[in-house]
A and B are shown apart, each in its own frame.
Chain A
């Protein structure tokens, strides 16, 4: 079984400050890890993903995440927050089973950016 824990249901940062959204996972097999963003009344957009290879993953809009197996973490960071980053962020884990994979999501972290 796999699960995802996102620490902090709501995070507020000032514009220009560092964004750090935390994600820890539990998986019995090597995981695939994802971060998605959801703007109000919209679907999910993939920010970045880790499947294999380099543990530091760069995504869209200046976001990046580092896969740390020893800490079972996949925290999302952005050096400088922009007002347009205000949204809800979801961490997800998947493993390949039966030739396909299904996503298990965390409960999400709502990011507010203060001008």
Chain B
């Protein structure tokens, strides 16, 4: 079992650009949550996807959007990147959103 896998591991983008991050959940999991972890901070909840729909959303602007595919994998899209979007983006998967959440190793996004 490969666990939760995220790609890419590192990414450098320019202000104003758009970025797409990808996540494959742990086998048997159907729910994917995304978190943003700024340097020196705890992770902050962005949103959660279940049955291909956004089920819950944290306090993030509409520039942050996502998608879940029929195979439960997920994408996080960020438009009009700001310097403040630089962070480690973590994906977590669970079953039904109520079981233990397993985290991937994250994607380190740097906006210059």
Contact = CB atoms under 8 A, between A and B. Distances in A.
B105 A43 contact: yes
A111 to B, nearest CB: 15
Give the interface size bracket for A toward B: 20 to 34
Contacts of A108: 40-42
B96 interface: yes
Interface stretch (B48-56, B63-71, B75-83): B48-56
A22 interface: no
Q: How large is the interface on B (under 10, 10 to 19, 20 to 34, 35 or more residues)?
A: 20 to 34
A106 B40 CA distance: 11
B108 to A, nearest CB: 8
A77 interface: no
Contacts, number: 64
B42 A43 contact: no
Contacts of B103: 36, 43-45
Interface of A: 4, 36, 41-46, 49, 90, 92, 96-108
Please give me the 9 A-B residue pairs with the lowest Cβ-Cβ distance, nearest first.
A100-B97, A105-B42, A43-B103, A44-B103, A102-B45, A43-B105, A107-B42, A105-B43, A43-B104
27 contacts: A36-B103, A41-B105, A42-B105, A42-B106, A43-B4, A43-B90, A43-B103, A43-B106, A44-B43, A96-B98, A97-B56, A98-B56, A99-B55, A99-B97, A99-B98, A100-B48, A100-B96, A100-B98, A101-B97, A101-B98, A102-B45, A102-B58, A103-B33, A105-B42, A106-B42, A107-B40, A107-B42
